[in-house]
Amino acid sequence: MHTKCHNNDLIAGPFCPAPQLAGGNIVDLVTLLGNGLPLDKVGPHLRHAARRAMRSGETRRMLIVARVIVSELLRRGDLIRVAVAGQEDRVSTFVLIRGTHKLLDLSALGPEFRPVLEGQVQENFGEASGDDALVQQDQPSLRDLSSMLVAMEDAQKLDLSDPRSGETGVILDSILRLLEKFTPQFHLRIMLFEGREYHDPAGRVFLQVDDPEMPSWVDLREKAHSVWIPSLRELPAGATRTVAGQESIEKVASGVAVPLFAPQGGAGMTWTSRPEAGLLFVLAADTWSRDTMLRLATRLSRFVTTRWQQHTEVTKRIHIDALTGLYNRAYFEGQLEILLERAKRNNAPLTLVVADIDHFKDVNDTYDHVIGDQVLRMVARRLQEELRRIDHICRLGGEEFALVLPDTGEGAAQEVLQRLLNSPFVEPVSFGGKDLDLRVTFSYGAVTFPQSGSDAFELYRKADTLLFLSKDRGRNQCHFWSSDGNHRQLQPESDGD
């Protein structure tokens, strides 16, 4: 059963206040949380919860937090139950802090808490944690607090272990999975507009072009406008897709679609002036008011964008080479496996190129490392200008680079490499009081899936072998793998001037 909050803003489940609890006055609770309980014995999430509760000045909130902390300390043995003379006829409310002579009176926690002090609840529930045991005494509020604390801990985590963690679809799917812990009463889906970079649609995220029978309102909707969805029939097929571990979406009694804005833009840019990346769908089987759903969905959309930007920035720090702005070796090693698997699944070709700047050590020795870094940045910029946006350009280290060209067969790849060999890689530099144009060339080794192999390590090894063949035969050239040993050689058609 869902309940509306009195302010009609955040609704249902953990967002609604529970009935008032029987407990002590606010002064006793502040004393207990501020100076009494050994907060250094509990985790940081509970210490933070205690500080926030005291700052709020809300008696009920402090009571809930104090009960959870005391339950945890009792479970860990940091608080010891004691009997006091003259209290034989009722449960003692006193505990001793282990390792000290400090005695605490916990009567401020109210009569509901006394079975826990007596040990009855702990005995009934075995190894249950303190806050889980207290759920039996105050089920609505303490379960909500416990689940919210778990969700808050999860919200601090960014899953970067997956090599695809920098992909748009993977990022957005992980954000929706996180939000589902806060909003279990809703189904959350994201539709990305055509042109967004996205692969391998997950259950929660789909592309607009995936649905040939897209509802007409999607095209009629004006930019930055939200849409009220009255029934399941008005939803794109991707929005009703069932995700593993979730109940199927058999009906939608209420739902909205709100704009999802891309994380790009300066600090002074307003939400509505950002480019739209897609739509966030918030769907419920129960009936909710239109205004409430729109307010909630808008706040969720902003959370998604903010989290998306944070995840992208962290991913860049891990996978981007600081000097050139290209992908680094860690990204290359993980991504090559993914791109190769995708090529196998789609029965599509893929070309891998390994490249070295010729005589780059001479550049550093003749000039200096500052100019050497300047040349590396120029090379990165020129490669990005010559290749497609879907191509992956990686700096493997030093002067070594790797190019991964999806959906590129041997013939098309040879055209690309011939263009690179003919293109000038020139950087204007100042050295010894003179201005000069410093030119560098590349040696390349190239292999194409599936002709050259189907294993990522095998392809890289062959490409690296061909790179050294190009160096041995004079540099500034490329060799393409051939199974008969007659590797195709490409050389510049001109000097590039």
Under the banding of pLDDT at 50, 70 and 90, the label for residue 459 is very high
Pairwise pLDDT comparison (155 vs 310), residue with the higher score = 310
> Is it the case that residue 424 has pLDDT exceeding 70?
yes
Residues 103-118 have a mean pLDDT of 76
Query: What pLDDT does residue 200 have?
Result: 55
State the average pLDDT for the chain. Answer: 80
Least confident piece of the model among 231-240, 264-273, 310-319, 465-474 = 264-273
Residue 130 has pLDDT above 50, yes or no: no
Sign of CA dihedral 123, 126, 130, 133: negative
> Which pLDDT tens digit goes with each residue over 170-210?
888 888 988 887 788 889 999 998 755 555 555 789 888 76
Is the model's pLDDT at 244 over the cut of 80?
A: no
In 58-123, at which residue ranges do the beta strands (DSSP E only) sit? 79-81, 94-97, 103-105
Q: Residue written as tokens 């090599």?
A: 163
Banded pLDDT at 383 (limits 50, 70, 90): very high
pLDDT, position 11: 28
Tell me: pLDDT of 392 over 60: yes
* Residue 19 pLDDT > 60: no
Most confident of 133-137, 307-311, 408-412: 408-412
Beta bridge partners of residue 283, listed in sequence order: 187, 255
Q: How confident is the model at residue 156 (pLDDT cuts 50, 70, 90)?
A: low
Helix axes 59-76, 139-155, angle to 10 degrees: 80
Minimum mean pLDDT range among 47-56, 359-368, 459-468: 47-56
Rounded Cα gap, residues 497 and 493, in angstroms: 11
Neighbours of 212 (CB within 10 A): 6
Q: pLDDT at position 124, please?
A: 30
Q: Under 8 Å CB-to-CB from 482, ≥6 apart: which residues?
A: 488
Q: Is the dihedral of CA 463, 467, 468, 470 positive or negative?
A: positive
Distance CA 399, CA 453 (A): 26
Omega prior to 263 cis, within 30 of 0: no
- Look at residue 413 in the predicted model and tell me its pLDDT: 96
0.85 exceeded by the pTM? no
Confidence check: pLDDT of 133 > 80: no
Q: Does the structure show a pLDDT above 50 at 16?
A: no
Please, which residues have CB within 8 angstroms of residue 267's CB and are 6 or more apart in sequence?
Answer: none
Structure confidence at residue 119 (pLDDT): 56
On the question of pLDDT at 146 being above 60, the answer is no
- 50: CB partners within 8 A, 6+ apart: 33, 37, 39, 65, 66, 69
pLDDT of residue 145: 52
pLDDT at 160 over 90: no
pLDDT beyond 80 at 278: yes
pLDDT at 391: 94
Mean of pLDDT values over 447-466:
94
- Identify which has the larger pLDDT, 418 or 53: 418
Task: Indicate if the pLDDT at residue 467 is higher than 80.
Answer: yes
pLDDT given for residue 10 in this prediction: 28
Binning pLDDT at 50, 70 and 90, where does residue 24 land?
Answer: low
Instruction: Check whether 17 has a pLDDT greater than 90.
Output: no
| Residue type for position 132 | D
Least confident of 151-165, 413-427, 459-473: 151-165
Most confident of 36-45, 259-268, 488-497: 36-45
What is the model's pLDDT at position 199? 55
Tell me the DSSP string of 184-251: TTSEEEEEEPTTS---S--SSEEEGGG-TT--HHHHHPPTT--EEE-SGGGS-GGGGPPPTTS-----
* Confidence label for 163 from pLDDT (cuts 50, 70 and 90): low
Token pair 């040696």 in the structure block, residue: 443
Q: What per-residue confidence (pLDDT) applies to 128?
A: 32
Binned at pLDDT 50, 70 and 90, residue 117 comes out as: low
Residue 76 has pLDDT above 90, yes or no: no
pLDDT at residue 108 in the model: 84
Mean pLDDT of 215-225: 88
Confidence at residue 317, expressed as pLDDT on a 0 to 100 scale? 81
